[in-house]
Chain A
Amino acid sequence: DQQVKQNSPSLSVQEGRISILNCDYTNSMFDYFLWYKKYPAEGPTFLISISSIKDKNEDGRFTVFLNKSAKHLSLHIVPSQPGDSAVYFCAASSPTGANNLFFGTGTRLTVIP
């Protein structure tokens, strides 16, 4: 059973516009959320994270929003650049669960020049 879901397998955005990647989760015990970015033939790389005590975390062009009541988080990239084209994975962890991350299935972002 998928505890972290990314319902959009792909997203295309024009360069300079905003990219919004969405993620939903089912486990209310999750207290830490991360976004990873993956290029082909490479392992995922950490992008940005947010603790459940916050509802927003910003790092340059990347902002993650957390809506705990809706069990939803989103990653905003603005302005989008062609180099942002990659697969983005949402991940979550809980303090009481196994010492691992639960990943979504990923969203492939294509930024069109």
Chain B
Amino acid sequence: GAGVSQSPSNKVTEKGKDVELRCDPISGHTALYWYRQSLGQGLEFLIYFQGNSAPDKSGLPSDRFSAERTGGSVSTLTIQRTQQEDSAVYLCASSLGGLAGAETQYFGPGTRLLVL
């Protein structure tokens, strides 16, 4: 079956523009996560969706970042008024959605965002 897919794979944008990153989780996975990896950094948690519950947004670095998950499946991460420090690889992961922390998360290939 298909794994987690993300689009676009690469995105170059100008400072101040808005960008949307898309994630298609594995079918049947109710938990979805967004992480980002900046140069030389580990993966940084951004946001977590579990079923129809309110998302855990505790990792979003600023109010320019938002995410939604429509129909419990596809998720979109939106960055408004992008800044150069937003340049990173944005990774999406999904899991079955039971014991969240103890589950294997399956990662997509990531979207490489470069803000000029």
Residues of A whose CB lies within 8 Å of any CB of B are 2, 4, 6, 31-32, 34, 36, 41-46, 49, 51, 89, 91, 93-95, 97-106
Contacts and interface: CB of A to CB of B under 8 A. Distances in A.
A28 B79 CA distance: 34
A75 to B, nearest CB: 15
A93 B31 CA distance: 15
B33 interface: yes
Interface of B: 4, 31, 33, 35, 40-45, 48, 50, 56, 58-59, 91, 93, 100-102, 104-110
Contacts of B110: 42-43
Contacts, number: 72
Given A44-B43, A104-B42, A99 B102 contact: no
Given A101-B45, A105-B40, A32 B104 contact: no
B108 A43 contact: yes
| Main SS at interface, chain A | loop
Nearest to A34: B104
Given A93-B101, A93-B102, A44 B56 contact: no
Q: Which of B56, B91, B105 has the most CB of A within 10 A?
A: B105
Contact of A99 (B43, B101, B106): B101
A100 B107 contact: no
Nearest to A106: B42
